[in-house]
Each structure stands twice: as structure tokens, then as C-alpha cells.
Amino acid sequence: MAFPSPQTSGRRRAAYGFALAATFAAAFAGVQSTALAAADTPAYPCTTLRVVSPYPPGGTTDILARIVAPGLSKRLGVPVIVDNRGGASSNIGTEFVGRAKGDGCTALLGNNTGIVINRSLYKLKLDPTRALAPVGEVASVPLVLYVNTALPASNVGQLVDLVKASPGKYSYASGGSGSPQHLAGELLKLERHLDLIHVPYRGQGPALSDVLAGQVPIAFETTTALAPQLKSGRVRPLATTGAKRARALPDLPTMQEAGFPGFVIENWYGLFVPAETPAPLVQRLSDDLNAVLGEPDVAAKLAEMGSGDVRGTPAQFRAFIGKELPYWESLVKRSGATVD
């Protein structure tokens, strides 16, 4: 805004003064309106919201939890703490939240492993689809088939030939039995009749660390967790598992393009609370989560990870999970995957 010069006429100075006063009045009215809106929103009924990540730090679930936590804290008006409770392919953290009080103070940043896949592999102490209430989906990202740079394979075909030439010699890592990364490896074995050993870890972070160290040469990982290593050239990507090429890796072929028709696997993630959580609280969390996911900086981070806009209502997320159950049950049976 241009300020008037000392030569400005009295009339113009007066007009300017009235305009300035009107501007301040409008701004004050806006502040009052915002304050009233905030006053209309009831205080969140917890001093802290604990978001459990059922994996160790470093994996995609943990990364996503820490991306949404600051925004949720700001909107809810309470601290949001990410609590890593890894182990048993996410079953420990998932069960912890499933048994927690439904008071809105404890939530789970879960994924398809703990919510729908493990039901076909483990004798669970509780059924996540019954013990947990869906709040909203957070992200959905493809996997990347990658290898340690010491492995002499630059594409999927070369990798298959290498493994076939030495049955039982090579292994692949995953963040735990039943994870999409595990099932992707089993599907690779099934499609090409490969003798490839599965090495499960307590999370994708430790699995990635051992591939980087050369302890295990092959793995599948999300574009999210693998991004830093891809940029630094510490691993060699061979293909992605999405239905189309990943936005972050446009030059990398999909598994379908590499000669594996129908090989499409994506990892999805969402926020959950104990099933007995009152519906108004679930809706409050859903609304605030959607608002956070729509913030430009958060949306940009999710896009970099390869996730599109997955915002929706709790009912829509529940219906989506219902459709996912038979898909993953079928994949477990078809691949012959077992708990190692």
C-alpha cells in the first residue's frame, strides 16, 4: 500500500485516514470472527493425543505419522506424540490401540498389513476390523523393487536370471511377515518359480538398513522411505509396483512393464481409534485430519511420496477396507505366504 506524501491535500489525508480505519476495523472483525469460531469448537477431551506407529522409526508409517502430527496438534489444541511400538509385523502396536480406552486420546497410524493382511497369516488376539474404528485414509503409495548396488542386476530380467542361476543363494528383506513388501517378494517368487529366501525384520527401517549394509541384497520398499537412498545412489531401483509409473520415478518401469502382468501392489495407511470411541470424536478427528492433509506443504510431501489425494469420510474409509479384505486374503493364498 502506498503512503501519502507530505504534500497530500487535507481531503486526501482524511480519506486515507477513513480508509485506514476501515481496514483496521475489518481486520478486527475478522479476528473476532475467528475467535468466535474457535470458541464454538469444543476443547479436545484429552491433554495429549498419542498416535501409535506400530513399527520402529524410519519406515513409511513412522514418516507419515510425523508428517500429520504437527497439523493435528495445531487443530486439536493439544500435543500429538508419535509412539513407536514395533514388533510382530505391527500386531503389537495395533493390539495396543485396539485395547485402549475409546476416549480419543489414543490413535493408530496403521496400514494394510496390520488391518487386513495379518488376519490371514496370524492367530490374532483381536480382529483389527472389529476392534478399531476407521478415521480416515492418509496415503497410498507403490513399492519399489530395489537391490544393493553390489548386486550385478540393472533390471528385473537380470535379477530373475541371477536368482535362477543360483537357487537358494539369494534372499530378500521385508519389514515383517505379512507386510505388502513380503507379499510382493512372494509374488515375485511365484511368478518366476524362484528359490529366494525371505528375511523378515521388525520394521522396514531395519530391513532397509541391512540392504544398505549388504547383509540382504534384495527388497521391496515404498517410494517414501527409499527416497533419500535413491537420491544418494546408495541402492539401485529396478521397478515399481503401481498400476502406472510413479510420479517421483517417471523413468522407472512398473512391474507390469517389466513382464509381470497384474503385478500391482500398493501400501495404504490410515488413522484409526478404538472401536468404542464416540462417533462425534471420530468425526472431529476425521475433519481435522482431512484439513491437515489438504494443507499445501503436507499435500506436497504426500505427492512426492507418490500418493494422491485420499481424503474422505470415516464411512468411505470403512467401505474401502471392506473391499481390500478379500483382495489381500486372495493374494496371501495365491502366493503361499506364511509367517516365518
Q: Which residues form the domain of 70?
A: 49-140+268-335
Rounded to 5°, angle at Cα 236 from 229 and 113: 70
The DSSP call for residue 276 is T
SS3 label, residue 134: strand
22-74 residue pLDDT tens = 444 444 444 444 343 444 678 999 999 999 999 989 888 999 999 999 999 99
Do residue 167 and residue 125 come from a single domain?
Answer: no
Pairing relationship of beta strands 49-53 and 106-111 according to DSSP bridges: parallel
Q: How many domains does the chain have?
A: 2
Same domain, 200 and 57: no
| Whether residues 134 and 158 fall in one domain | no
pTM for this one? 0.78
* 230 part of a folded domain: yes
Residues 135 and 273 in one domain: yes
What is the H or E stretch that residue 119 is in?
Answer: none
* Helix ranges (DSSP H) in 77-153: 91-98, 112, 128-131
Residue by residue, DSSP assigns 191-228 as HHT---EEEE-SSHHHHHHHHHHTSS-EEEEEHHHHHH
Write phi, then psi, for 215 (nearest 5 degrees). -70, -35
Q: Match 496438534 to its residue by C-alpha cell.
A: 73
Which residue, chain included where needed, has cell 544418494? 232
| CA nearest to 19, candidates 34, 1, 7 | 1
| Separation CA 186–CA 175 (nearest Å) | 14
Domain annotation covers residue 13: no
Give the number of other CB atoms < 10 A from CB of residue 312: 17
Residue closest to 266 by CA, chosen among 142, 138, 114, 118: 142
248 within domain boundaries: no
Band of residue 340 on the pLDDT scale cut at 50, 70, 90: low
**Phi and psi of 239, rounded to 5°?**
-170, 165
Residue 261 lies in a domain: no
Q: How far apart are CA 230 and CA 239, in angstroms?
A: 12
The one-letter code for the residue type at 260 is F
Give the count of alpha carbons within 13 A of 48, CB side only: 6
Domain match, 118 and 57 both: yes
Q: Are residues 224 and 148 in the same domain?
A: yes
Q: What is the CATH number of the domain that holds 193?
A: 3.40.190.10
On the question of pLDDT at 7 being above 70, the answer is no
| For residue 1, pLDDT beyond 70 | no
User: Which pLDDT band holds residue 150 (cuts at 50, 70, 90)?
Assistant: very high
CATH number of the structural domain spanning residue 311: 3.40.190.150
Nearest to 120 by CA among 285, 310, 326: 326
- Asked if 108 and 51 count as a contact pair (C-beta separation under 8 A), the reply is yes
Q: Residues 166, 231: one domain? A: yes
d(C-alpha 18, C-alpha 251), whole Å:
60
247 is a domain residue: no
274 & 131 share domain: yes
Q: What is the mean pLDDT of residues 87-115?
A: 95
pLDDT in tens, 291-309: 999 999 999 999 888 898 9
